[in-house]
Amino acid sequence: MATAGLYRRLLPCPPAVEFASSQGKQLFLESIQNGTMEGFYKLVSYFQTQSEPAFCGLASLSMVLNALAIDPGRKWKGPWRWFDESMLDCCEPLETVKARGITFGKLVCLAHCAGAKVEAFHATHSSIDDFRKYVKKCSMSDDCHVISSYHRAALKQTGIGHFSPIGGYHVGRDMALILDVARFKYPPHWIPLKLLWEGMNYIDEDTGQSRGFMLVSRPHREPGLLYTLSCKHESWINIAKFLMDDVPLLLKSEDVKDILQVVSIIAASLPSNFEEFIKWIAEIRRREDGGPSLSAEEKARLAIKEEVLKQVQETGLFKHVASFLSSSCSRQQVSGDGDTLPIIAASVCCQGAEILGGKPSSAGYCCRETCLKCLKAEDDKPITMVSGTVVNGNSEQGVDVLIPSSSEKLCCICSKSKYIRVHPASTDVLTVLLLSLPSTTWAGITDEQLLAEIHDLVSIENLPTLLQEEVLHLRRQLHLLKRCQEGKVDEDLGAPLS
C-alpha cells in the first residue's frame, strides 16, 4: 500500500532555537566572540546528510573523521581516499545498521578502527559538568569534536535514538549547537545543554546501557605504519579468539623450556587463513609517465616505515623468530610458490590495481611483469619500488608499489604449511605479532627463568618510540576486536584498550 511522503518536520521551538533564525544567528555571533565556535568551521565544511534513515551514527562519524583530516587508507571512489558511510562497516555489517541502527559502543569501535583517538562516556558514568567541560573544550578548538548519542524525546522531537555532532557552544545561555545529520528532518539547531544531557541519560533497550558522548580527535601520527589488523574478513573472529584466548592456554598446557619452543607452539597453531587478519600496509600509486616522481609526503612516509622495520629487526625477539623460521624452512621441501619477492610484487601490484581502479577482487587482475627499482631520494637515502604491469581482459595499467627495504632475506615458507605468508617478510610480522600480545599471554609459563626472558624480549618499555607506538596500536586493535567478538563494546566502554 502506498504511503504518504514526509517533507521535513517542524522543529519544536522552544526548546530548540533554529540556527538560521534571527535568534540563532545572534547566538552564533556571540559564541564566535566568546571563542566557542572554533570547531564549527571544519565540521560545517564536511557537513553531510545521512544517506539512510538509520545511518545517523555512520554519517556523524564520517563527517567528523573528514573534518579531522584522517586518511582512511583505502579508496572511496576512483583514486580518492575519503570517509563515507559505506566504508564504516568493520564492526557491524551495513545491512544490520540499515535495519536496526548502531549502538553507541559499536560506533566507538568504528571510530577506533578508522584510526581516530577516542574518549567515550556513558551518561550514567559521567556528569553534566564533565559533559559541559568537554563540549566547551572541543568548541574552542578544531582538534577534537563531540558526537552525542541522545533520545529525541527529551528535545520534544519525533523519533527515538539519534547521533549528531556538536558544532558549538554558547556559554551565557548554556546551549549546544546540534549539527543534525538528519537534515531532511530537522535543520541545525541550538538546544539547552541540560536537555541534551537528559536525552543522553535515556537507556538504549538494545544494550541496557545509557546513551552518551564521545570525543573524537586526530592521533598524533597516522596509526598502523607497517601493519594493521583487519576485521573485514570473516575469519577475524576465530583468529582474535585464538590470539587472546587459545595462545595463553597452549603455553600453559605445554612444558615449554626455551624461546624457540614458545615461537614454535604459537606459529604451528596459527589458523590457515591468518594472512587475512594481519595486513602489510603498502604505498600504492599509479605509474606516472616520465619516471617515479615521488612526492615529499610519499618519501617521508616511506622513510618512517623503513625506520620501523629496521627497529623490528633490531629487537632480540626478531633473532629468535628468524632462527625458528629458518630452521623450519630447512626441514621442508619448498616449491617455487614460496614467499619470494616476485610473488609478493605480483600480489601487491594486483591489489594496487584493484584499489586504484575501484574493482572488486573478482575482477581478475593478473600481474604480467614486475621489476624492482632501487631509487634515491633527495637526501640520497635508497627507496625500494616494485613496478608492475597489471592486465584485466584487454586493459592494462602500470602500478608502482613503495615498500620498506628489509635487510633480511625473505623467508621461503611453503604455501601449504601452517606458517604465515605475509609482506615483506614472515619474520617481521611474526615478531610484531608476538610483541603485540597482551602481557597476560605469558602468565602460564612455569619456568621462571624463561618467563623473565620473555618479559624482557616483549617489554614495551624496551622498544624504540616508533616501534613502541606501532605495537601499542596493534595491541589496542586486538583488544577492541576481542570486545567486538564477545559483544562487550557497550558494557566495557570505559575499559582501557592496552
Q: Is residue 294 part of a domain?
A: yes
Same domain, 200 and 235: no
302 vs 355, higher pLDDT: 302
Cα(74)–Cα(76) distance, integer angstroms = 7
Mean local confidence (pLDDT), 79-97: 80
Q: Out of 172-181, 212-221, 331-340, pick the least confident.
A: 331-340
Residue 175: predicted pLDDT:
95
Residue 468: predicted pLDDT:
86
Domain extent for 31: 17-217
The mean predicted confidence, pLDDT, of the chain is 77
C-alpha grid cell, residue 60: 556523524
Mean local confidence (pLDDT), 346-353: 57
Burial bucket for residue 190 (CB in 10 Å: 0-12, 13-18, 19+)? buried
Q: Is residue 3 part of a domain?
A: no
**Residue 181 belongs to domain with CATH number:** 3.90.70.30
Same domain, 278 and 383: yes
337 vs 346, higher pLDDT: 346
Mean local confidence (pLDDT), 156-161: 92
Cα(370)–Cα(348) distance, integer angstroms = 10
Same domain, 278 and 400: yes
Exposure string (b/e) for 386-415, b if CB count within 10 Å is 16 or more?
bbbbbbbeeeebbbbbbbbebeeebbbbbe
Q: Which of 24, 16, 57, 55 lies closest to 40, judged by CA? A: 24
Asked whether residue 284 carries a pLDDT value surpassing 80, the answer given is no
Same domain, 77 and 124: yes
Asked whether residue 288 carries a pLDDT value surpassing 80, the answer given is no
Q: What sign results for the dihedral spanned by CA atoms 399, 403, 406, 409?
A: negative
Q: Using a pLDDT cut of 90, give the percent of the chain over it.
A: 27
Question: 214 with 110: CB under 8 angstroms?
Answer: no
How confident is the model over 409-419, as pLDDT tens digits? Answer: 433 333 333 33
Same domain, 304 and 436: yes
Same domain, 302 and 395: yes
Same domain, 290 and 208: no
Residue 419: predicted pLDDT:
37
Same domain, 199 and 267: no
pLDDT classification of 357: cutoffs 50, 70, 90? low
Same domain, 273 and 149: no
- Examine the fold and report which residue of 185, 217, 249 is the final residue of a domain before the chain moves on: 217
CB proximity list for 353: less than 8 A, separation 6 or greater: 359, 365, 390, 392, 397, 399
198 vs 248, higher pLDDT: 198
Q: Which residues are catalytic?
A: 56, 162, 180
pLDDT classification of 333: cutoffs 50, 70, 90? very low
How confident is the model over 172-204, as pLDDT tens digits? Answer: 999 999 999 999 999 999 999 999 999 999 998
Mean local confidence (pLDDT), 382-389: 65
Q: Is residue 178 part of a domain?
A: yes
Q: Is residue 138 part of a domain?
A: yes
Q: Using a pLDDT cut of 70, give the percent of the chain over it.
A: 68
Q: Is residue 142 part of a domain?
A: yes
Burial bucket for residue 362 (CB in 10 Å: 0-12, 13-18, 19+)? exposed
pLDDT classification of 497: cutoffs 50, 70, 90? very low
Asked whether residue 163 carries a pLDDT value surpassing 90, the answer given is yes
- Examine the fold and report which residue of 165, 186, 217 is the final residue of a domain before the chain moves on: 217
Residue 235: predicted pLDDT:
62
Mean local confidence (pLDDT), 441-468: 86
Cell numbers 629487526 correspond to: 313
Residue 223, preceding peptide bond in cis (omega within 30° of 0): no
240 vs 496, higher pLDDT: 240
Same domain, 241 and 185: no
Same domain, 237 and 194: no
Residue 387: predicted pLDDT:
67
* CA distance to 99, 184, 256, 456, per residue, from 446 (Å): 50, 63, 8, 16
Count: domains in the chain: 2
Same domain, 180 and 324: no
Q: Out of 37-41, 401-405, 444-448, pick the least confident.
A: 401-405
